[in-house]
Structure 1
């Protein structure tokens, strides 16, 4: 299977695009379906007959904290090599017990100013449309999540070996560089798992540098 993260990291050209009114309508509909998010990391969601509870985890060398379903686990290297054959596989891959739902994070060396994020989202969206076997394009959105982090979201359904996959590509800036995140599941499970995707996105937060905090505390004591 060709995975989104591998293809994005190999892209060398970025084009500009703008979402149309139909896309905006789709995004509004998608947003209305997401569950409301509470700051309590012990929040639970009901997915069909399953209760999903969340726990905070730190990723990318402790720079980012995010709430992940407790039943998810870090994908073993052997499995990651099979599912993501390219050496450009995501650095962090959390997966469900059956491996059908995945949450990934990958740092890049692409530098970006926060104010450049909206244009970058549209550039990446245009590239995706040119390289992915898109079945259903759902558009782009720029949000500020519950922790004040600006995140670009690109939503689409793409063809896969085992069936169509629903994807949410996440773009945000950390320490001046772009971070690429992703949530994906089978299209047939999309409606059930959208609240989980929403919870994950809303929970992403930057972890303050400990040395910086100690320095500031020391200054206050002077």
Structure 2
């Protein structure tokens, strides 16, 4: 009985956090990927366990290096790929990713895409909403080069949470710093 009550309280607390206005969600500085990257992450987000990763990415073609989440309601994934990259290649990656995403996600609504400067570095991004498992999912993908390899970051939340989380997703992207 105690376990059930504790589980319900944890679930309720997670739902409250997910429903909080963006102004109330604190972002804290974290170093990820063996100190290669510094980024703001919502306070209270935890690294997804191996079991959660196995379940969440069971059918994915590739699995992120690390995922931060608030009990799977909102997630921020980092994929430090084996693909070579440098600052000159970011625009090429953006063009190729945009073409591939538009082709793969024909039912998606695309909001914006391009390359912007973040902490004196080029960062490509694609922002869209797509149907997934019976509901819509807001996604902001952003990427840059880190130590000669491509880093791809993906922020996801349910469409009903977009008004609260979209500004935070953009703040997270704007906070990205690659350590040499």
- Structure 1 unaligned runs (5+)? 1-45, 209-222
Alignment counterpart, residue 42 of structure 2, candidates 69, 73, 81: 69
- Residue of structure 2 in register with 1:83 after alignment: 56
Do 1:93 and 1:102's aligned partners in 2 also have CA atoms closer than 8 Å?
yes
- TM-score relative to the length of structure 1: 0.67
Alignment counterpart, residue 160 of structure 1, candidates 116, 132, 143: 132
- Residue of structure 2 in register with 1:193 after alignment: 165
What CA distance in whole angstroms lies between the structure 2 residues aligned with 1:104 and 1:196?
15
**For residues 109 and 75 of structure 1, do their structure 2 counterparts lie closer, same or farther at Cα, with a shift above 3 Å needed?**
same
Q: Alpha carbon RMSD of aligned pairs, Å?
A: 2.0
What CA distance in whole angstroms lies between the structure 1 residues aligned with 2:30 and 2:122?
20
- Structure 2 unaligned runs (5+)? 1-18
What CA distance in whole angstroms lies between the structure 2 residues aligned with 1:174 and 1:49?
29
State the Cα distance separating 1:113 from its structure 2 match.
3.0
- Residue of structure 2 in register with 1:113 after alignment: 86
**For residues 87 and 119 of structure 1, do their structure 2 counterparts lie closer, same or farther at Cα, with a shift above 3 Å needed?**
closer
Query: Which of these two proteins has the greater Rg computed from alpha carbons?
Result: 1
Q: How does 1:51-62 map to 2 (within 5 A)?
A: 51-62=24-35
Count of paired positions: 161
- TM-score relative to the length of structure 2: 0.82
- Residue of structure 2 in register with 1:27 after alignment: none
Q: How does 1:1-222 map to 2 (within 5 A)?
A: 47-48=20-21, 51-85=24-58, 86=60, 88-97=62-71, 99-145=72-118, 147-208=119-180
Whichever structure has more strand as a proportion of its residues is 2
